[in-house]
Structure 1
Amino acid sequence: MTISDRAPGRGTAVVIGGGLAGVTAAWALRGFAERILVVERDRYPTEAVFRAGVPQARHGHLVLEAGHRALEELMPGSKQELAAAGAHQVLTSGDLKWLGAAGWLADYPAQMSFLSCTRPVLDKVVLDRVRTEPSIEFLEGTDVVGLLGSAQAVTGVKVRERGPDRAEVREIPAELVIDAAGRSTSVPKWLAELGCRPAPEERVDAGVAYSSRLFHRPVGSDRGHKAVYLQTKAPGEPRLGVLLPVEGDRWIVSLSGMRGAEPGPGEEGFNRHLAQLRDPLLQEMVREAEPAGEVRGFQAGPGVRRHYERSCPEGLVAVGDAASTFNPVYGQGVTVALFCAQALRRTATRHGGIGHATAREARRGVTAASKVAWMMSSAEDVRFPATTGGPSGAVTRLQHRYLDKVFAGTTRDPVVTAAFHEVLSLVAPPSRLFHPTVLAAVLRG
């Protein structure tokens, strides 16, 4: 008797990739699969340190307010665990000094915050929780090298252990396969090899690049705020800078630029970019700070949103960056990955297992989870002349004109600033900016 005969809709789920999107997806499936296998190409470090498989981890990360709520729903107590690991709570007003497109944002009585720490701390807190679940297994130091199945259904994966010797390829049958391999996923190529039609895609590429460095926070550096964000201003100011407090009494400073304004390499490029920002505040804050590490660069690549809900074989769901990648300057990626885990959990609960019906509905849920973030980030990206792809036309131009009025409103009216933060934090939909009280404040300006 097969597993499916014993328990329809149950069986084995394989997760490709053991990053944040992968381990939270595995956690979401607990209780609905008899075995959940996470295949990770790296071997996890024992401490909260950077690892090669997450190159973007060396740059500033934050989980938006909506992401913290999602993580707390998935893993109750996670906020306390992050705080115990050294994460700093940063209120979205007061603690955060934000230079928006139209000027410094007005303060308001903040009801929202985020926890600021390095990515390894966030990953380790989540991973430690996931390791407590007996049904979740980890296959570390192993590559997924292909899919099993046909154009109609994915039925498992092919894996090979990493190392100097070419290990033999093994097959792992599965009732559900989760692609959480991130921006570099090979699943679209493997689906083509199975004879599948490619999933429709949306693409936008602002050519963003990063340069980041950790600093020891100087004694007496308190200026009345914990974090600084110097935003871009389209079309003529394509550079940004962010300073965030992290564990170990340190700051992480990430500098970024759109195509044509990318930070140069190394310390020289970092310092030159720092001096070219719209305001000298960030440069002044780090002037007396001692570096706590080398300058690290990162080329993000294009934003891609794959519509697997329109074209995908049975038994496969993509989550996180494997489904939708965003320009990282908007800080949406981690939060959307957590939304994907919530969508998986909801659909598995509704269908009572991990069968094809769950996968089909989960694909729709994942697409819905990324809709607002994609709309906001892609619409903002196309303001920069060197951006390729993305939305265009009269509607987009009207959106930009209204948003310019909103940006101006955030500098003088706390009602507008609060609504703006709610939308940017993915707590409220963009329609919040058209609420009568907000609309009136914007138009008065």
Structure 2
Amino acid sequence: MGDIGWGCSCVSNPNSGAKQVPGGPKKKNLLIDSDSPALAWWDAEANDKFLLNTVTVLAHRICDWACPQCGHHFKAKVRDMAERPTCPPCKDERLAAWRAEYERLKTTPISEIPELLMAWDDDANPWTEVVAGSSLRKFKCQNGHHPRVRPYSYYTSGCPSCRGAVTLAADKPMLSDALPEIAGQWHPTLNGKWTPAKVGPDSKRLVWWLASCCGHECQEEVHQRNKRPRYLCPSCNTILDSLARSDPGMAAEWSPANPATAWQVRPTGATDFMPAWNCSVNPEHQWEASLASRYAGSDCPECRQAGKSKVELDYFEAARKTFGSAKSGPKLRHKAFALRKHWTADIVVESNDATVAIEYDGAYWHAPEAKKLVDEAKSRDLLAAGYVVVRLREDNLPCLGIDDANYLELQVYSVAPRPEETLAEVMQWLATVSRSGMKTTTEGL
């Protein structure tokens, strides 16, 4: 029934990260796997060894604990300790200290507390009014707020308006941080003083939007922008998280003959037609392939024949001789990849505990602007995942403009390839690059 009402979820719901695997086992929230501070209180000698590996953070089981400050041993529920670990003797000691301090403040006038005296804005005499036990009084904080609270509350907690603003900013991120793509459609002139940095993603404020795909202007409440089907522009039925925005390199090869534009489909969405593609390298090449197939890495079948070119194989053999071992064409997967779920690297080698991805960019295949966008996005994904990236750019290919300590571009020439000399230069660079900023990864190999 859900498909009838809203269409397939892979088309209408981009929040795929929140989906669970159907039929998958529900993972228990074990105490040992959590980051709860109660783990530091766990009494390993008094509790059974098997218990720590099986008890969950919501368990009502009573276990033994030891205070890391005073060393007191006591029993308490796991649920209570996981939420807020507390030692009974330390709690009683703090309570006694608070009571003594409160009794002292009941006889201390406002004038003896500098921060209270500076913020005092009441008609009552601060030399006769005491800190604790007084009724509501007026204060003025440094930010211009005028709260009317008890002096003891202002002394211990400060201005309630300032405190609430900090809490609101911490608990509720603004639209600019939570949904940057939607924030990018904010109309720059028609919303007055309101900006994406001042409005939350759940706001019901009616504001103006400017579609980047066509320039149409429309009004819509903020919270409606992230609801199905998440239109970018309702006039032309373009959507957020579209192929055109998510993967411009692939979108550049989207054929105009398709019944939908690249702004109306998502990179991993399903379509009721087989998409047609125009090769950006040779416009005469046209073929059909699903979005899932393109997203998995397939390219023009006429340009990209099976296997590797002779020059790439020569560089692969040179990498094996230089580094001792190398992998040709492995698929790399990593959770840090932002554009695609996996990439295929030309050559992967290991050097000084670092995983190095070497890409050979031929002038014919990588010259179009669409391929340049893909090369740049691929390099940034690999760098984010912790790989050291080396690109061998052929002939007159322009620089990708990536500034990173773990990134190197070298110019090579198709008419005079020097695989062994080039790989030796790469190895020399790897030996001199700073190890402090070099990340290592083996995930996905």
How high is the TM-score relative to the length of structure 2? Answer: 0.19
The structure whose residues are more often helix, as a share, is: 1
- Larger strand proportion of the pair: 1
- Normalised to the residue count of structure 1, the TM-score between the two structures is 0.19
Q: Please identify the structure whose Cα radius of gyration is greater.
A: 2
